[in-house]
A and B are shown apart, each in its own frame.
Chain A
């Protein structure tokens, strides 16, 4: 599903050039659950952003579903992204001015799903995430765990092929964190490919494979049994 080869990314300031990804090569197959680990500044989030087509690589190749996307323009990337990829963030990133229902509905609006179909699908996913009773609440009225459930609901409502999760339990206590990991595992078991950046060895154990990065390169891969 994902094949990146010799991927490079640099950050430049006036005086310093930092290498975030250094000729990185990774393959992720459809239906896999991959955890990416490594110390701060090793390039995990940069990789996730490039995989999510939020950022451009400076070199190398990125093939998504058989299509080379490394040099897509912003519009094409946005189009590919909204139909194929869901995001889950550490800090949830819900829009404060929208209710739970409206936050989850948002990706469907951008993909042009008709209103009646939207209601059906949002209710379905809220039900699945057990957050239906909070549908008319605003994000700031929810606990962290509930907010992350909403964020996951929003990530999956469009039935994406790939979910990218950036430390999804980072802002949660262990109990809520476990719940979130169970939800992701469940989604993966139903066929969604998941790539998750995490600092937590505990969370990483939910994945099929751990890729460890250092200085923008793969230093080790662990296959989980």
Chain B
């Protein structure tokens, strides 16, 4: 019987090519979209899964309660790790790792390349899964000047050399390090990323502040013993720092590796349950919506052309087919169609995956031999077949054989209402996606165009390497001499990121017990002009302000905190010591760290070049950036010859801060477009069916004098009504969704009515264009032919 069903299904497919194409292609696009999204979701959900001990690995986090917020971060005291391991029985191991990526110049022969890596304790090799290709974990960090590199880094220096253990690489033009291990490249969906690892001891010895319990500046990873409940350890950790540093407001807790990527959002010191997981949920929902839209096409086309299948249903029933066997037949057909679509979808996915990877910045691959991928594809296919086949199969199998064999016109009323309902559902989803896409785009543009308080354009940032600090004056002069540079300055922290901050400050009039986090920056006096900050009151910093008594410039919000009247001349004291600084100038507020947040208060101190880490070069507005860069490179090569020219544009860094939002924006644009394409395929099929069904009516109308335009209007009107109804349903849904999404951003746009109008008009135009082809074709057909065919 199944063979008979397959035969009928296959022949029916090949006989009605246009219908089959619409169905298969629509469903294939749907499945392909869903497959791409699920590949992305899989990658996200499996973040850090390369680590065998994922369930037992944690990072120590700190909660610090300030006046307006609880700050949650991962910077911990440099001496905490070993103490925890020794004192807390639940902890199997700890590992201290330098925070962020340290960029160092690696040289070998004539090759010099900057590489980013970390200083870490040897326990990193047993806690994290870092398989060695050459060397081994045991001997990796026995020597101080050991260097463990990834395969990729090894290839950079040694090509395809089989054994590089013991080879030397000069680091920062100062010290030779010896390769003691090469580890497999780290998968992209891993939190711990580096090109090299060096023994932690080097970093610890260079950084005296790490020995204090009051300073928090490195990461402490923790491995719990099997079966240990992290909540028990967290209780022991809550006042752990206070035992050594009673005044500290820092409370330690463990944050599990399984939550690092997806649930990394904290409010009031607690996990909100939000983070990247929200995007995972969002896109999973979008994937199912797109599949549903594709399934609806199938249902609509299947029921719309049910008249063509009616006779077959009648005959089969007369010959003894029961309702159940007919339902099985039609669901089977839908699954068969779905299987073909899945095969086409695999081809589509394989073709577009490289482009998709570029879009989402991942290296996703289709696992042809991966049983999970095959199973997932089969499940999606089966789900599509069942969803798409369910309604048509019940509808078709319910035909009365007497009526259909007599050739009576089917009573289409219920089926037509359901069909219209499904079209409304499709277009509602599409319109919601269009509106959401526009609003997400507007919000991102809104933040990107935000007046940050400084000028991020034409501003180049360089890490200070080699003699750059020492030769600051000549470098600056040479850069100005190029005629292409407006100004040059130094700072201790990148301008758009959060820098050092402290709450241990007081001033006259500050409420007792108040904890306010204030950022402090050390800069050369040219910094204000170079970055574009405006001095609103008082004067700029000078070179002589570097020594005591300290003088500083503060931002407007800091001046406001210090009370009414001019802030000039007011003093700020360090808690618990005698140092103080006097305000000599006030600059405008500027946004840093969180681009959606409000500008936090900042204090600027004048600094000698040797205490800074980055150089800023303000270039004159130009159309020829390459020429400017070449000029700067020339200067750097002359004044700092041992190091390659390494730079970044601040506006690029700024754009980097919107990666998640940009991804959402780009993906929602792509998927909204595809949802519309699939919906239109369905609409096109329905329009064709309607035109065919009404051929006789149109013929009679034309004979009686109807014009082409009146016939076209007649055929298009019903569909347009449905699209307009979809808009009415979609508008409040989209408004509610977007209102809630925007609420999560402090700095956000207001939703404007015209977005809805534009989305509605766009949907109507797209639908009209889809339907009009069929409508016009039917309207201009010769009525004699259509009447004769009856």
B319–A154 touching, CB < 8 Å: yes
B7–A109 touching, CB < 8 Å: no
Q: How many A-B residue pairs have CB under 8 A?
A: 71
A52 neighbours in B (Cβ, 8 Å): 318
A96 to B15, CA, bound (A): 10
Query: In chain A between 58 and 115, which residues have their CB closer than 8 angstroms to a CB of chain B?
Result: 74-75, 78-79, 81-83, 87, 89, 91, 93-98, 102, 105-107, 109-111
A106 to B322, CA, bound (A): 13
With A49-B402, A55-B402, A109-B4 already in contact, the answer to whether A97 and B12 are too (CB < 8 A) is: yes
Partner of A93, one of B12, B311, B321, B402: B311
A81 to B316, CA, bound (A): 12
Tell yes or no: B17 within 8 A of A by CB: no
Encoded as 1 (CB less than 8 Å from any A CB) or 0, chain B from 303 to 323 comes to 000000001101111111111
B319–A106 touching, CB < 8 Å: yes
Q: Give the Cβ gap from B327 to chain A, nearest Cβ, in Å.
A: 13
Encoded as 1 (CB less than 8 Å from any A CB) or 0, chain B from 2 to 24 comes to 00100110011001000000000
Name the residue among B323, B400, B402 with the largest chain A CB count within 10 angstroms: B402
B15 neighbours in A (Cβ, 8 Å): 96-97
Partner of A78, one of B1, B315, B321: B321
Tell yes or no: A148 within 8 A of B by CB: no
A81 to B321, CA, bound (A): 10
Tell yes or no: A45 within 8 A of B by CB: yes
Tell yes or no: B453 within 8 A of A by CB: no
Q: Which residue of A lies closest to B9 (CB)?
A: A97
With A97-B12, A102-B7, A109-B4 already in contact, the answer to whether A82 and B406 are too (CB < 8 A) is: no
A109 to B316, CA, bound (A): 11
Q: Give the Cβ gap from B52 to chain A, nearest Cβ, in Å.
A: 54
A98–B320 touching, CB < 8 Å: no
B402–A97 touching, CB < 8 Å: no
B318 neighbours in A (Cβ, 8 Å): 52, 54, 81, 87, 93
Tell yes or no: B363 within 8 A of A by CB: no
B322–A78 touching, CB < 8 Å: yes
Q: Give the Cβ gap from B311 to chain A, nearest Cβ, in Å.
A: 6
A102–B4 touching, CB < 8 Å: yes
B319–A110 touching, CB < 8 Å: yes
With A82-B320, A107-B319, A154-B319 already in contact, the answer to whether A93 and B7 are too (CB < 8 A) is: no
Q: Give the Cβ gap from A25 to chain B, nearest Cβ, in Å.
A: 22
A97–B312 touching, CB < 8 Å: yes
Name the residue among B4, B11, B320 with the largest chain A CB count within 10 angstroms: B320
Q: Which residue of B lies closest to A157 (CB)?
A: B319
A111 to B314, CA, bound (A): 17
B320–A93 touching, CB < 8 Å: no
B322–A75 touching, CB < 8 Å: yes
Tell yes or no: B376 within 8 A of A by CB: no
A54 neighbours in B (Cβ, 8 Å): 317-318, 401-402
With A98-B7, A98-B8 already in contact, the answer to whether A82 and B402 are too (CB < 8 A) is: no
A78 to B407, CA, bound (A): 21
A111 neighbours in B (Cβ, 8 Å): 320
Q: Give the Cβ gap from A54 to chain B, nearest Cβ, in Å.
A: 5
Q: Give the Cβ gap from A13 to chain B, nearest Cβ, in Å.
A: 12
A89–B405 touching, CB < 8 Å: yes
Encoded as 1 (CB less than 8 Å from any A CB) or 0, chain B from 65 to 105 comes to 00000000000000000000000000000000000000000
Q: Give the Cβ gap from A8 to chain B, nearest Cβ, in Å.
A: 17
A95–B401 touching, CB < 8 Å: no
Q: Give the Cβ gap from A209 to chain B, nearest Cβ, in Å.
A: 25
A106 to B317, CA, bound (A): 11
A55 to B403, CA, bound (A): 10
A78 neighbours in B (Cβ, 8 Å): 317, 320-322
Tell yes or no: B163 within 8 A of A by CB: no
A110–B7 touching, CB < 8 Å: no
B7 neighbours in A (Cβ, 8 Å): 97-98, 102
With A93-B314, A95-B312 already in contact, the answer to whether A110 and B325 are too (CB < 8 A) is: yes
A106–B316 touching, CB < 8 Å: yes
A91 to B318, CA, bound (A): 14
B405–A93 touching, CB < 8 Å: yes
Q: Give the Cβ gap from A197 to chain B, nearest Cβ, in Å.
A: 13
A74–B323 touching, CB < 8 Å: yes
A107 to B1, CA, bound (A): 11
Name the residue among A89, A96, A97, A105 with the largest chain B CB count within 10 angstroms: A97
Q: Give the Cβ gap from B667 to chain A, nearest Cβ, in Å.
A: 42
Q: Give the Cβ gap from B259 to chain A, nearest Cβ, in Å.
A: 55
Encoded as 1 (CB less than 8 Å from any B CB) or 0, chain A from 142 to 158 comes to 00000000000010000
B1 neighbours in A (Cβ, 8 Å): 109-110
Q: Give the Cβ gap from A159 to chain B, nearest Cβ, in Å.
A: 14
Q: Which residue of A lies closest to B313 (CB)?
A: A95
A49 to B404, CA, bound (A): 13
Q: Which residue of B lies closest to A75 (CB)?
A: B322
Name the residue among B4, B318, B323 with the largest chain A CB count within 10 angstroms: B318
B406 neighbours in A (Cβ, 8 Å): 45
A139 to B320, CA, bound (A): 21
A107–B320 touching, CB < 8 Å: yes
A93 to B310, CA, bound (A): 11
With A97-B11, A97-B15 already in contact, the answer to whether A110 and B321 are too (CB < 8 A) is: yes
Q: Which residue of A lies closest to B324 (CB)?
A: A75
Q: Give the Cβ gap from B325 to chain A, nearest Cβ, in Å.
A: 7
A107 to B315, CA, bound (A): 10
B323 neighbours in A (Cβ, 8 Å): 74-75
Q: Which residue of B lies closest to A138 (CB)?
A: B11
Q: Which residue of A lies closest to B318 (CB)?
A: A87
B320–A110 touching, CB < 8 Å: yes
B8–A81 touching, CB < 8 Å: no
A75 to B324, CA, bound (A): 9
A95 neighbours in B (Cβ, 8 Å): 8, 311-312, 315-316
A97–B8 touching, CB < 8 Å: yes
Q: Give the Cβ gap from B141 to chain A, nearest Cβ, in Å.
A: 72
Name the residue among A78, A87, A105, A111 with the largest chain B CB count within 10 angstroms: A78
A89 neighbours in B (Cβ, 8 Å): 405
A106 neighbours in B (Cβ, 8 Å): 4, 315-316, 319
B317 neighbours in A (Cβ, 8 Å): 54, 78
A45 neighbours in B (Cβ, 8 Å): 406
B320 neighbours in A (Cβ, 8 Å): 78-79, 81-83, 107, 110-111
Q: Give the Cβ gap from A19 to chain B, nearest Cβ, in Å.
A: 17
Q: Which residue of B lies closest to A83 (CB)?
A: B320
Name the residue among B317, B400, B407 with the largest chain A CB count within 10 angstroms: B317
Encoded as 1 (CB less than 8 Å from any B CB) or 0, chain A from 105 to 143 comes to 111011100000000000000000000000000000000
Q: Give the Cβ gap from A122 to chain B, nearest Cβ, in Å.
A: 13
Q: Which residue of A lies closest to B312 (CB)?
A: A95
B312 neighbours in A (Cβ, 8 Å): 95-97
A87 neighbours in B (Cβ, 8 Å): 318-319
A98 to B318, CA, bound (A): 16
B311 neighbours in A (Cβ, 8 Å): 93, 95
A96 neighbours in B (Cβ, 8 Å): 15, 312
A79 neighbours in B (Cβ, 8 Å): 320, 322
A94 to B405, CA, bound (A): 11
Partner of A82, one of B4, B11, B314, B319: B319
16 A-B interface contacts by CB (under 8 A): A54-B318, A55-B402, A79-B322, A81-B320, A87-B319, A93-B405, A95-B312, A96-B312, A97-B312, A98-B7, A98-B8, A102-B4, A107-B319, A109-B1, A110-B319, A110-B325
- Residues of chain B whose beta carbon lies under 8 Å from any beta carbon of chain A: 1, 4, 7-8, 11-12, 15, 311-312, 314-323, 325, 400-402, 405-407
| Given A74-B322, A91-B407, A96-B15, 7 more pairs with CB closer than 8 A | A54-B317, A87-B318, A91-B405, A94-B315, A96-B312, A106-B315, A110-B320
- Residues of chain A whose beta carbon lies under 8 Å from any beta carbon of chain B: 45, 49, 52, 54-55, 74-75, 78-79, 81-83, 87, 89, 91, 93-98, 102, 105-107, 109-111, 154
Closest 10 CB pairs of A and B: A82-B320, A110-B320, A97-B11, A107-B319, A49-B402, A97-B8, A93-B315, A78-B322, A54-B402, A95-B312
